[in-house]
Amino acid sequence: MAYRVAIGDRLRAGVLQVERWGILVDLGLPFNGFIDRLSIGDDLERFHPGLEIEVVVVQLAEYNHQVRVHLADSAELLGPATG
């Protein structure tokens, strides 16, 4: 991808939307990221728009500008997003 994002990169992300199928996050790129529900489990209640989290890039698809991410191992929930 032309935006210098690579699999394995750790990024801060702001939660934009929480849906039953997953979480849409702002990665500070021209397109958003997505956390699949299968990687989160049943604990969606702890996520809400505005929450800042740390994520790891797990999949890139340039044809549709899709970035799939998972929660980082530690300090996943960082608090309110700033900026």
pLDDT in tens, 42-80: 888 899 999 999 999 999 877 667 899 999 974 444 445
47 is written with which tokens? 């996520």
pLDDT for residue 1: 43
Closest Cα partner for 14 from 28, 25, 30, 29? 25
Whole-angstrom distance, CA of residue 64 vs CA of residue 18? 21
Going from the C-alpha of 37 to that of each of 15, 48, 58, the distances in angstroms are 14, 14, 14
Summarised one tens digit per residue, pLDDT across range 6-17 is: 899 999 999 999
